[in-house]
Structure 1
Amino acid sequence: MISTQAREDAQLLWDFQQMHHELRPCSVAVGLGSHDLGVADTAVELYRRGLMPVVVFTGATSPTTRERMPRGEAAHYRERALELGVPDSVILVEPHARNTGENIRFSRALIEGAAIEASSVLLISKPYEERRVYATARKLWPEVEIVSASTPMTFDDYVESIGDARKVIDMLVGSLQRLLIYPGQGFMISLPVPDVVKAAFDRLRDAGFTSRLAAENGDPSP
């Protein structure tokens, strides 16, 4: 059972992660692989709206996706998009990335290798990782304009879709921690984090929502 305080703190972290960018047409979209097929669904919706001519799906597998997506996250995203009517000719697959930094770096290399002129990139991620993905892209791909997007949904709706409130809060805590520690390790730019959000993070961490925390030093984790 999740306490009222934990629920309120999780909502603060959820709201903070939303970038609230105004969506507009971009040169290319990148859908970052994860356990959440909603990323692929949102990419399909945005393609149908004419917001990008090409979409890259990026991602290998991780401990949380290996059973659900045995062929790799990017491959399953592609299959989903094809099922929903997106032409195969507008989909690029990057099947090797195992963390957010690799998602960006490998997708950039794939796009450049395909001779796609990218002045703007629509980054499609899970709702609770918009800010983390944005900060990573601004570090690793600074010359393009970044527009952040995710499936529009509330925290409660996302918890219901996953079916495990503790797991979702653990992921929120892990994502916020990376915003705090990864700039110092050179993995992303530094973005301001309000004190009220830091306090919520501290309370959740101290309450034991720690399964998705990263090591304080070392390679970036998913």
Structure 2
Amino acid sequence: MISAQAWADAQRLWDFQQMGHELHPCSVAIGLGSHDLGVADTTAALYHRGMMPLIVFTGATSRTTRDRMPRGEAEHYRERAMELGVPADAILVEPRARNTGENIRFSRALLEERRVSVSSVLLISKPYEERRAYATARKLWPEVEWLSASTPMSLTEYVDSIGDARLVIDMLVGAQQRLMVYPQQGFMIEECIPYDVTAAYERLRDGGFTSRLVPDAAERG
């Protein structure tokens, strides 16, 4: 059973991850690969709204996607977006990235190789990783404007879509930990984290929601 306090803490972390950016048309969109095909669905919907003329889907496979997406996350995203009416010539595939930093670095290299002029990027991720993805992108490619977006849905709706509440809370805790420790390691910009968010994270961590934590990561008290 997951307690009412744990649900409330998970909701606090979920709300903090939502950047709430007001979207406008950008030079390009980068869709971050994962197990969640909803990223491709949302990217396609934003394309049809005229938010970008070009999409980069980025991602290889991981232990959670190699069986479901054997051709690679980016390739499966491309196929899904095309099913939803995005033309093939509006999609680039970056098939090697295995973490968020590589997603950004490799996508940037691909766009530079194709001589695509980029002044703004619409960054599309899973809902519980908006802020983490944004902080990483700002660190690695600070010269462009970044807007963060994800599938608009509630925590309850996302848990229902995944079918495993404990896993979703574990992922929220892991994303929050990275926001706290990765800036010290040079992987992302520093984010101002409110006290109540830190407290919610610590209660969930101490309550055993730990499967997605970075091991041996030093956290500031």
TM-score normalised over the length of structure 2: 0.97
Contact 1:132 1:179 in 2 (8 A): yes
Contact 1:185 1:217 in 2 (8 A): no
- The match for 1:109 is 109
Unaligned ranges ≥5, structure 2: none
- The match for 2:32 is 32
Aligned partner of residue 182 in structure 1, secondary structure: helix
- The match for 2:202 is 202
Alpha-carbon distance in 1 for matches of 2:15, 2:216: 25
Unaligned ranges ≥5, structure 1: none
Structure 1 residue ranges (4+ consecutive) displaced by more than 3 angstroms after TM superposition: none
Deviation at 1:86, TM superposition (A): 0.7
Alpha-carbon distance in 2 for matches of 1:81, 1:162: 20
Deviation at 1:217, TM superposition (A): 5.1
Alpha-carbon distance in 2 for matches of 1:143, 1:114: 18
Alpha-carbon distance in 1 for matches of 2:52, 2:216: 37
- 1:45-194 equivalences in 2 (<5 Å): 45-194=45-194
Alpha-carbon distance in 1 for matches of 2:128, 2:217: 23
Aligned partner of residue 148 in structure 1, secondary structure: strand
TM-score normalised over the length of structure 1: 0.97
Deviation at 1:64, TM superposition (A): 1.1
Pairs aligned (count): 218
Alpha-carbon distance in 2 for matches of 1:22, 1:113: 30
Deviation at 1:60, TM superposition (A): 0.4
Contact 1:38 1:151 in 2 (8 A): yes
Aligned partner of residue 153 in structure 1, secondary structure: coil
CA RMSD in angstroms, aligned pairs only: 1.0
Contact 1:27 1:52 in 2 (8 A): yes
AA in 2 matched with 1:75: E
Aligned partner of residue 22 in structure 2, secondary structure: coil
Q: Deviations over 1:86-131 (max 9, x none)?
A: 1000100000000000000000101111111000000000001000
AA in 1 matched with 2:189: I
Alpha-carbon distance in 2 for matches of 1:216, 1:125: 26
Aligned partner of residue 81 in structure 2, secondary structure: helix
Contact 1:134 1:148 in 2 (8 A): yes
AA in 2 matched with 1:119: S
Aligned partner of residue 122 in structure 1, secondary structure: strand
Cα distance change of structure 1 residues 173 and 58 upon mapping to structure 2, 3 Å threshold:
same
